[in-house]
Structures are given as C-alpha cells and as structure tokens.
Amino acid sequence: MSVWVYGEQKSDLKIEGAIARRIAEDLYEVFIGPQHPGSGHMRIIIRVDGDIIVDADPDMGYVHRTMEKLSEGREWIKNIPLFERMAIHDACNVTVSYVIALERILGIEPPPRARYLRTLLCEINRIAAHLYGFGIFGVFMGHSTMYMWSFADREVMVELAEKLTGARLTHSYPIPGGARRDLPQDFPDQARKAVRYFRRRLEEYRKIFLDNPVMRSRMEGVGVIPKKVAAELGVVGPVARASGIKYDARLAEPYDAYDEVEFEVPVFEEGDALARAWVKFEEIKQSLRIIEQAVDWLEKHQREAPMHPKFWERSPPLWKKVFEAEGRVKLLPLMANLKLPPGKAMARSETARGEIVYYVESDGKTTPYRVRIVSPSARNAIVFKYIVPGYRVMDLPTIYGSIDYFPPEADR
Amino acid sequence: MTARPVVKRLVKRKGLFAGFKGNVDAITLGLKYLVDPKRFTLIYPNEYIKLDPGYRGFIVLHKEKCINCSSCARICPAAAMRMIKRQEQDPKTGKVKMKLWPVINYQRCIFCGYCVDVCPTEALYTVPYHDIVYENMAEMDWGLETFTRPPEHPVEKEGGIPVKYIVDEERGLVKVKAEGEEGD
C-alpha cells in the first residue's frame, strides 16, 4: 500500500492521470474530480473492486460562497442578484421564492400581470435549464451531438429572456411587489414562433438521444431509485418524479400564476436514468404550453404596471411616463433601504432541478436576520452516496448527468 | 387547480431487431443535418450583434439631469457605484459648491440595472452593448468624465457588420443583418 502524496500523485494503478490507491486486496480508491470534466466542481471519491463501485463518497463544497451569511449583510432586494448566482441559467426560478417570502412578510400580493410575467420567465428559464442539463448529460456519455444541439437551442430561450428582461442570464427580474419589465412589443410573436419550433425540434431530440438504442442501453436500468428509497432519501424534482413520486412545488403550493394555467406534471415510475431524462423531456413540453398560455393572457389583458399599488401609486409621474414609453418599471428609492416588519416566512418554488425552499426571518431592519436556503441539488446529492454503489465506473457519468447535479447550487 | 400529475410509462423495447428502427432514425436524422447543418455562428470581429435598446449594457450618466441624491450608490448590490465629492460652479448663481457625483467601477458592476431603475430623474441610462475591453484594471474604474460619455463601441467603430438573431419557426435562431435583409 502506497501513500498518496500531493504533487507526486503516485498511482498504484499505473494509469497516467488517474489518481488511485489500493486500500485493500482488490479494492482501489479513485478520486474523480474536482477538476475532472465528468464531475463538475465536486469530487466523488469512489472505491472500486475491478469495475464495480463498492463505495462512493461525494465530497462537496468546492464552490461554497457562504451565501446565507453574505445575505445577512445586504439589504433585502440586494440579495436577489446574489441568490441568482446559485444557478444563473435558472435565475428566475431560483429567486422567485425568495421574493415571494419577502412579499409574505410585507403582506402584499403582486398584481396578476406581474404574476403572469414571472411565470413566463420561470418557464423560459426551466426550458433553458433542462436543455443545459441535457447538454451536460449528453456530453458526459460521449454524445456530443446532444451537447451541441441543446446548447444551440437553449440560445432561443436565452434570447427570449433577453428580450423580456434585458439580460441573458442574470435577469434580477422578480422584485418584491411585482416584476421589473413588461413585455416588449414583438415578444408574443417571437415566443409563439419559438414554441412551435421547439414542438418540432423535441421530436428530433427523441430520435437522436432518448430513443437512440446506443444511448438507451447506457441509460436503461442505470441508477435505479425505487419509489420507497426516493422518499426516504428525500430527493426532489425530476429525480423524485422519475421514481413515481407525484410531487411538484407548483402543484403542492401553487405560486404566481401556476394555479391559473393548465399543465401536467409528468411522472414516471421506472426510476432509472432513462426515466429521469424522459421526465425532463416531457416537462419541456409542458413548459411550452405554459409559455403559450402566459403570452396569450398577457396579450389579451390591458397593459398596466406589473407592480403592487403600494409601490406604484405613490410613484412620481416620471415613473408612469417611462413605463408607457419603455415598459420599464422604475423602483422607488425606498427600495434600497426597504424595512420589512418583523416576521418569518417560508416560500418554495419549483426550479428545473427540484424544489427550492427559502426560510426568511426579519427583525425589522433593512437586512435579513436569517435566510436559510435549501436547494434542490443539495438534496439530490445524496443519490451519489446511496445509489451509485453497485454500478460500474462507466455508469457514474450517466447517473451524475441524469440527476442533473449542479454544484454551485448545492454548495451555495 | 388546473395542474395535475400524469403517470407515464416508458416504451419497452424487446426482441432481436428492437433497436433497428431507433438506429435508422438516429442515423437518418444525423445525415440530414450533415447535409443541411443549422449554424448561426457569429464571425465576431467582422460582425457584431446589434442588441435591442432595452438591453442592459454599460451604464452612462446624464450629468445635467443628475440631482446628486445618491440613490444609485445606495441600491447598488455590488457596491460598484459610489459617490465622489467634486467642486462645481452653479450655472445659475455662479457660486462654487461641493457636490456629490456618482462614478462607477466596472470591475464590480454586475449589470443588474437597479441604479438605472431607481434614478428619480432618469439621469442614468444603459447603452445596448458591453463588449468593451480594457488593458488594465485601473481603467475600469471610471471617473466622472468617462462616466458622462457613452463608451465607444469598438467593433462598430472598426466597421463591423451589425447582425441580429431572430426566432424562426423552421430553424430556431437565424442570423439576419440588422437592417432587415437576409444574412448568410
């Protein structure tokens, strides 16, 4: 048994580049990550017997940024751009529940138009994040076509989000009391075109990736999480829904306009990597439906400021003039030093990877007393520990990609 | 409540030739895009994206509109905006006064646009581009003089072709010339 020294990287396996050491007879410890392309910003320490993983230990925390503590030193609305950095390609979904928690403490409800605008951006983000997940999943398994396609098609959704909010990824769109911009004039037309394009395009995704026998053979029966185990581990989002758990935060506790739009929550019962890929695939279809409904609603209803009257009625005439001309909702200077009444609130929303929960406590100051975030990736990371053992080393990227683990969100 | 969970099942494939159709479908589709690829690469220094006017790019100050209220510096989540003291002659009375003016540090700016939205007199505005390169970090900390002029768009200045990406029903994103005619 040799000693592994940092810098010398003595490998018992005599494989160049692989850091492995023998820990017992026929048992090797292999470090995957944190710079390994197949692991993201995390390290998975696996112990292998031949090709079979007997033990896996996810070593998280490489991108930990103390967001919960940082937020205690910032004013309420300054935390919105901060929390976006957890999952920048899913920015609206990640921050919307924080904003809802603030609204609950303030005791205000955003106007219907703001709720629909947020829902619209949430669903645009969800599709973009699922396509991002598909791309990473594809390239993990060596299917670089899927990577190129989904990253190119994700650009359609990013463009739509840019038209709506003015930024490609870090939208900072929801704000306590409403949303920051209204629809641009040419948005409904572009959104409908994008929806029709995606409906056709998804059929091609199915052919080249999900129903491709080569990919199917790598996904089918890999990383199976039975329904009971999924409930015990507490996984959320597409991972839980692929194991037959009918849970979705949009369903359990409808926020924004989700109780008014019509959609399905796809649930599969197989629990393997293929089922998880199919859940995401079916969810994209449902998100397209929601986008259509939201755009229709927004076009049909009169254009008015998507801001709560508490903040909008007191605002000067210039505010209304800017909104008429540019569709931009200006913020009152009091927003910077907004004081929330003492209180606690909890809010959850369904991000692309699952449910995110914010617990916000205010002691009447301009900064939070405590913000607790439970992110979906942090809850799904447990899969590495309990599901990976028993599968082969080549199955690890498949399981990793299928649970769509995103380290910056888990470490936060 | 109009949302509902729907249990779906994966289509199981069995038999010797089960994968045959899937393979043929995938290869046919791959060949289709080999012949007619979908590309929208931006040839960057020769072309640039002409973004919508609502895009949150670099922030510039209208000095004559500014009322020195410090709202922008207070709301900045990244502490990129700060106020500096500057002696100014009042144009009406001719008196010399100490005034606070906002300046921005682009090393810190995250382009959230809060400052533009909070400004009570619309003294701040965004330009729809941000592809500006600096040779050193100190240049990114703008002084008041730089902050009052919109920055030069380097690609536009060197004669780059403005292009736009629009959503197309058939091909996803399509690159067109910003004037409206079809691009390559």
Say yes or no: B35 contacts chain A, CB-CB below 8 A.
no
Alpha-helical regions (H) of A32-78: 67-71
Sequence-ordered list of residues with C-beta below 8 angstroms from that of B20, at least 6 positions apart, any chain: none
Range from A41-45, A89-93, A265-269 carrying the lowest mean pLDDT: A41-45
In whole angstroms, how large is the CA radius of gyration of chain A? 23
Question: What is the per-residue pLDDT for B183?
Answer: 42
- Give residues 80 to 139 of B whose Cβ lies within 8 Å of A: 110-114, 117-122, 126
pLDDT at A359 over 90: yes
pLDDT at A127 over 90: yes
- The pLDDT value recorded for residue A6 is 43
In a domain, B50, yes or no: no
Q: Where are the domains of chain A?
A: 79-99+108-333+396-411
A112 phi and psi angles, rounded to 5 deg: -55, -40
- Chain B residues within 8 A of A251 when measuring between CB atoms: 1, 3-5
Instruction: Please tell me the predicted confidence (pLDDT) of residue B145.
Output: 84
Please provide the CATH number assigned to the domain covering A79-99+108-333+396-411: 1.10.645.10
Asked if A167 and B169 come within 8 Å (Cβ–Cβ), the reply is no
Q: Please enumerate in sequence order all residues whose Cβ is within 8 A of that of A92, keeping only pairs 6 or more positions apart, or say none.
A: A118, A121, A122, A124, A125, A171, A173, A174
d(CA A346, CA A102): 9
pLDDT above 70: percentage of residues in chain A: 93
What is the rounded average pLDDT of the residues A332-352?
A: 88
Contacts of A322 in chain B (CB under 8 A): 122
Number of other CB atoms surrounding residue A23 within 10 Å: 12
| Beta-bridge partners for A360 | A345, A371
**Could you say which of A156, A213, A327 has the minimum Cβ distance to residue B19?**
A213
List, for residues A158-215, the tens digit of each pLDDT value.
Answer: 999 998 898 888 888 999 888 888 888 888 998 999 999 999 999 899 888 888 888 8
Say yes or no to pLDDT of A58 above 70: yes
- pLDDT score, position A3: 46
What was the pLDDT predicted at A403?
87
Are B122 and A322 inside 8 Å of each other by CB?
yes
Per the model's pLDDT, the better-predicted residue between A182 and A305 turns out to be A182
Best residue in B117, B130, B174 to probe A by mutation, most A CBs within 10 Å?
B117
Q: What is the mean pLDDT of residues A104-118?
A: 90
Instruction: Say if B84 falls within a structural domain.
Output: yes
Q: Is B52 on the interface with A (CB under 8 A)?
A: yes
Is the Cβ pair A336, B75 closer than 8 Å? yes
**For chain B, counts of helices (H) and of strands (E):** 6, 8
In whole angstroms, give the CA distance from residue A205 to residue A255: 31
Q: Which domain holds residue B66?
A: 59-150
Residue A291: the pLDDT is 92
Q: What is the pLDDT of residue B90?
A: 75
Question: Is the bond preceding A34 in cis, omega lying within 30 degrees of 0?
Answer: yes
The C-alpha angle A267, A355, A372, rounded to 5 degrees, equals: 165
The number of folded domains in chain B is 1
Task: Name chain A contacts of B110, Cβ cutoff 8 Å.
Answer: 81, 170
pLDDT at A2: 46
3 state SS of A131 = helix
Q: Kindly state whether residue B135 falls inside one of the protein's structural domains.
A: yes
* Residue ranges in chain B modelled with pLDDT below 50: 180-184
**Mean pLDDT of all residues belonging to chain A:** 86
For residue A360, the surrounding DSSP H or E stretch is strand A354-362
Which residues in chain B are closer than 8 Å to A155, comparing Cβ atoms? Answer: 40, 165, 172-173
Q: Please check whether residue B157 is in contact with residue B171, taking contact to mean a CB–CB distance below 8 angstroms.
A: no
Residue B44 counted as domain residue:
no
Euclidean distance between CA atoms B95 and B99, whole angstroms: 12
Q: Rounded to whole angstroms, how far apart are CA atoms A238 and B110? A: 31
> pLDDT at position A358, please?
92
Residue A43 has pLDDT above 50, yes or no: yes
Regarding beta strands B172-177 and B96-104, do their DSSP bridges make them parallel or antiparallel, or are they unpaired? Answer: unpaired
pLDDT of residue A347: 92
- A11, pLDDT greater than 90: no
B133 lies in some domain: yes
CATH number at residue B75: 3.30.70.3270
Q: Looking at residues A124-152, what average pLDDT do you find?
A: 90
**Whole-complex ipTM:** 0.85
Shortest alpha-carbon distance between residue A11 and chain B (Å): 40
| A40 strand-pairing partners | none
Contacts of B108 in chain A (CB under 8 A): none
